[in-house]
Structure 1
Amino acid sequence: MPLFGTDGVRGLANGPLTADLALSLAQATAVVLGQGRSAESRRAAGRRLTAVVARDPRISGEFLSAAVEAGLASSGVDVLDAGVLPTPAAAFLIADIDADFGVMVSASHNPAPDNGIKIFARGGVKLPDVVEQRIESAMAGPKLQPTGAGVGRIRRFADAEDRYVVHLLASLPHRLDGIHVVLDCAHGAAAGASPDTFRDAGARVTVIGADPDGLNINDGVGSTHLDNLAAAVLAAGADVGIAHDGDADRCLAVDAQGNVVDGDQIMAILAVAMKERGHLKDDTLVATVMSNLGLHRAMAARGIRVLQTAVGDRYVLEAMNEGGYSLGGEQSGHVIMSEFATTGDGLLTGLHLLAEMARQGKSLAELASIMTVYPQVLVNVRGVDRTRVHDEGVADAVAAVEAELGDSGRVLLRASGTEQLVRVMVEAAEAEVAQETADRLADVVRERLAL
C-alpha cells in the first residue's frame, strides 16, 4: 500500500506513523528535493539547503516535528522551526523566504490521536505524485550523512507568524470595520494567528475553540462541528461566524441567524466579487464534481464558467495551475485563492468573505442568497464491487433517473478510492425527491454490484 495518501502521509501517531518513519521520510525528502539545478547552485555558492518546518498543536506533533527536523539537519539541511502555525502559513513562508522546501506536521480535521506529514516543494506548492513516489523509494536507499560543518542547523523562525499575518492583511481589498465575527479556531493551529489577524483588519472578534492543550484539537469544535459556532453567534448577537479546521486550511461560515454557509456558497460570493474587480481569470471557477447544482446555476447566471474536477483539493489545484485560474475549491470549505496562496487558506478565505460583507454593506445571508442550495443526499452503498461502478444496468438506472429529474436535479455515482463501497449522490429541488431517488439508485447498485 502506498505511503502517501491524497494529502501527505497520515495515520495514528505512534501507530503506523512513528518517529522512526518521520525521521526516515525527512532524510529521503532531503535526498530527493536536494537534487536539481537550484539546489546545486546553492551548494556551489557554499550555502546549505533550507527547509521550513511547522506543526499544529496536537501533542504528537512535538515528537514528530522533532524527528523531521533531526532527519533534515542530519542530511545537511538548515531548518527554520516555525512552531505552531496553519498549513497555509507554512506554504506561504516557504515561498516568502525562498526556502528549498518545507514540512507541515498535521492531520488537519482528524482527531487528536492521528497525525500527518505534508511536504511542500519550493514555492510552497504540493508535491506531484511522481515526486512523492521518488521520496518513498528513497527511504530504502542511502542517506545523506555529512559531518562537521556540513551538518544542518535548527533555528527558531522567530517572525514566522508576523510575516504571515502581514501577508494576509496586505491581501484585503477592504477593511472589516463594523463587523462582529465569532471565530472557531478548532483548538488548532489558527488559535494564535486568526483572532489577531481579524482584529487587525478592523473586526470586532469573539473567540471560541482557541485553547489548544494538545489533545482537544477538532474535538466538538471547528469546521466539522458547526453547532457550537452557530450557538455562539446567536448568543453574542454577532454578524457572522467563521470556523477553521485543525490546520486552518478550511473555512466554513454561519450567518447571523446561525445558518451554515458552506464552501460552495463562499466560492460563489468570492467569484462574483472577483469578477467585478477583474480578478477572476477567464471568468472561471474551479470546483469538484461534488459541488452543488445551485453553484453551477448561480455562476452560469452571472457569466462565470465552472470547471469541474475529481474530488480532492489536489485535483482542484492541478486544474488551477494548468489553466492559471484564480479561484477554486470544495464544498468542505477548502478554498484556494491563487493570487495570494498556493493551497487552501481558511484565514484568507474568511477575511475576504468578511471584506465583501463590509464593502457591500450586506449581511452574509444576503450575499449567500445569490445561490440556491439544492438538497443533496449522499448514500454510501457498502459490500459491493466498486470496480464495476460502470455496470450497464446501473448506468441505465442512472439515465432513467436523470431523465426524471431533468434540469431540476443531478446524479453522481462514484467508487470510493479507499473502501469497498460506491457513493450515490442525488440533488433535487425537493429534499424528499432527492432522498427517495438516492435510496432507489442505492438499491439498484446493491443488486447489480453485490459481491
Structure 2
Amino acid sequence: MFGTSGIRGRVGDEVTCALALSVGRAVAAESYERVVVGRDPRESGEMLADAVAAGLREGGADVVRVGQAATPTVARAVGWTDADVGVSVTASHNPAPDNGLKLWTATGRAFDVAQQDAIARRVREDDYDLVGADALGTESRLDDATERHVRALQSAVDADLAGLSVVVDVGNGAGGVTATVLDRLGASVQTLNAQPDGTFPGRPSEPTAEHCGSLSALVAATDADLGIAHDGDADRTMAVTADGEFLPGDVLLAIFATAAAGEGDVVAAPLNTSLAVDDALAEVGASLVHTKVGDGFVAERTEDDDVVFGGEMSGAWIWPDQTKCPDGPLAAVRLGALVADHGPLAELAADVPTYPTCRDSVEVDDKRAVMRYVADAVHADHDPGRVNDRDGVRVDTDDGWFLVRASGTQPLVRVTAEARDADRSDALAARARAYLDDAVAALESEP
C-alpha cells in the first residue's frame, strides 16, 4: 500500500475516499489522538481530506484542518499544534489524475516502515476501534499555518536578500510560501505558474529540466540571479542559474551539503548519489552516509546526531535542525542566501566535480527473483565490505561504483555505474549489466 513516499495512485482506482476513510480509521486506532490534515491544490484533495478526517473522528481522534497548504507546512504544523501526527493529501510530483496520502510524525519525519506497516495491516484486515456518537473526535482549524511557515523560514535564514532577483516557478502548486518569504527577506521576486491549480496547466508537476524550460528561458532573458522550481506540494526544490542552466540534482545536493557540513559532520543521501558529493564533502572534512532510495529513508538517518543535512537528487532537501520533512521553501531561501553571500549560482556549481555516469534498464518478469540472483552472484565475487545490499546491490570500487536495483513502481531492473574516468564508468556498467543479464538468462532457463 505504501511506496517509497507514502500512498499514491490514480484517483478512483488505487486512491479512493474509501481508502482515505480507512487510513483515517487506522491512524486513530494506532492511538494517535490529535492529527493535522492538509492538502495540495488537486481537486480530489478536498474530498479525500474530508474522508481522512471522517475516519479519524470515527476513531475518536481530534482533527486540526489546515486546508490547502504545502506539505512541509503540514508537517511543521504537527509540532505547532501539539498534534501526534499529520496527514498530507498529496501526490507530490505525480501527474494531475493522481493523489495520495503521506503521514508525518511530530518531528516532521515521514512514517517509517514499521509505522506504515501497522497502518497497512489495519486497513487490510479492517481492524479499527470505532467510537460511539458521544466520543467522536473534534475538528478545528489552523488558519495561519502558511504564515507560521513564512515566519519560521525568516527566522531560520535571517538574511538580507536586498539586491537579489529570483524567479519562482510555483508549478501551480502549493509553494507560494517561497515567493512570500523571499519578498520579506528583501529579494526582488517574479513568479511563474503561481496560481494554485491541481490540473497543473503551466507545466507537469515534477520540476525536471524538461518541464522547466519556461523558467530557464525567463531567468536567462532577465536580470534574475537564479530560478527556483517546486513540485505540486513544494516538498521538492530544483534550481536554475542566472544564464538559464538547470542544475542536476547531484550538483545541488553537493552545494547544500557543503554549506551545511564541516569537519567531522555527516550528510545522508541515497546510495545512487554521485561520487561528486563524496568528493565535495571530503574537501570540507565531512563524509557521506548512504540510505535506501526515498526521502523517508534519508529523514530516518537524519535523526542521528552526527547528520547535519540530508538530501536526494530528485529535489528533496532536509535540514534536521529545522524539520525532518523535505522543505522546498526552506531550500529555496537558503539557496538564495548562499547566492547573496557567496556569488553566482553558476560559480557555486562550477566548484562541484562532474563524473561520467552510465544508466540502463531491463524489463523483467520477476524483478524480485532477478535481484535475488544478482545479489547472490555479487556477494560471491566481491569483498563484503564493498557491497551494500540494503536497496538493490551496490558495489564500490577504488575508482567508482555500480548499482543494480529494481524499480519501485515498474517491472524494471535498473543499472547505474559511475567513475571518475569515462572508460572506467563504461567498464563498471558492463560488469553490472553482465550480472543482470546472467540473472535473466538463468531464470528463463529454469523449468
Aligned CA distance change for structure 1 residues 323 and 413 (closer, same or farther; 3 Å): farther
Matched, 1:10 2:8: yes
1:169 is displaced (CA, Å) by 0.9
Residue correspondence of structure 1 range 225-240 to structure 2 within 5 A: 225-240=211-226
Structure 1 SS opposite 2:99: strand
Q: What aligned pairs does 1:276-315 form with structure 2 within 5 A after superposition?
A: 282-315=264-297
- For residues 317 and 360 of structure 2, the distance between their equivalents in structure 1, rounded to whole angstroms, comes to 25
CA distance 1:304–1:170, shift in 2 (3 Å): same
Q: Measure how far apart 1:215 and its partner are.
A: 1.3
Query: In structure 2, what is the equivalent of residue 202 of structure 1?
Result: 186
Partner in structure 1 of residue 19 of structure 2: 21
Consecutive unaligned residues of structure 2, counting only runs of 5 or more, are: 387-395
Contact 1:285 1:307 in 2 (8 A): yes
Do the aligned partners of 1:394 and 1:448 also contact (CA within 8 Å) in 2?
A: no
1:412–1:425 CA contact under 8 A, matched in 2: yes
Alignment partner of 1:378 out of 353, 359, 365: 359
Q: Deviations over 1:121-146 (max 9, x none)?
A: 33333222222222223331243223
How much has 1:388 moved relative to structure 2?
1.4
1:416 aligns with 2:420: no
Give RMSD over aligned pairs. Answer: 2.6
2-structure distance, mates of 1:285, 1:342 = 13
**One-letter amino acid matched to 2:5:** D
The answer to whether residue 234 in structure 2 is matched with residue 248 in structure 1 is yes
The match for 2:30 is 32
Q: What is the aligned partner in structure 2 of residue 153 from structure 1?
A: 138
**1:350 aligned to which of 313, 322, 332:** 332
Moved more, 110-119 or 289-298: 289-298
* In structure 2, C-alpha distance between the alignment counterparts of 1:310 and 1:63, rounded to whole Å: 33
Q: For 1:445, which of 427, 436, 439 is the aligned residue?
A: 436
Q: Is the 8 A contact 2:109 2:299 kept in 1?
A: no
Distance 2:138 2:327 in 1: 29
Calculate percent identity across the aligned residue pairs: 38
**Are 1:53 and 1:82, in contact at CA under 8 Å, matched by a contact in 2?**
yes
* Distance in 2 between residues matched to 1:23 and 1:330, nearest whole Å: 31
CA offset digits 1:317-376 (Å, max 9, x no partner): 22221345120111111111001112111110111111111122x000111222112132
State the alpha-carbon separation in 2 of the partners of residues 12 and 78 from structure 1: 28
Does the 8 Å CA contact 2:59/2:137 hold for their aligned counterparts?
yes
TM-score by length of 2: 0.87
**Which runs of structure 2 are paired with 1:210-229 in the superposition (5 Å)?**
210-216=194-200, 219-220=203-204, 222-224=206-208, 225-229=211-215
Shift of 1:249: 0.9
Hey, what's the Cα distance between the residues in 2 that align with 1:24 and 1:393? 42
Partner residue in 2 for 1:61: 45
CA deviation map 1:117-174 (0-9, x unaligned): 11123333322222222222333124322323x3223233211111111011110042
The question of 1:426 aligning with 2:417 is answered yes
CA deviation map 1:46-103 (0-9, x unaligned): xxx3321110001111110111111122333222211111111111110122112211
CA 1:106–1:294: 2 relative to 1, 3 Å: same
Aligned match of 2:393: none
Deviations for 1:251-304, whole angstroms, at most 9, x for unmatched residues? 1111111222233323322333334xxxx5842111111111111112112211
1:331 corresponds to 2:313:
yes
1:104 aligns with 2:88: yes
Structure 1 residues 435 and 83, CA, compared in 2 at 3 Å: closer, same or farther? farther
Indicate conservation of the 8 Å contact 2:311/2:318, yes or no. Answer: yes
One-letter identity of the residue aligned with 2:227: G
For 1:146 and 1:369, how far apart are their aligned partners in 2? Answer: 63
What's the CA shift for 1:13? Answer: 0.9
Distance 1:18 1:448, change over 3 A: closer
CA offset at residue 177 of structure 1? 1.6
The offset of 1:420, in angstroms, is: 3.9
Deviations 1:385-431 (A, max 9, x none): 232123538986999xxxxx975543222233454432111224466
Distance 1:63 1:217, change over 3 A: farther
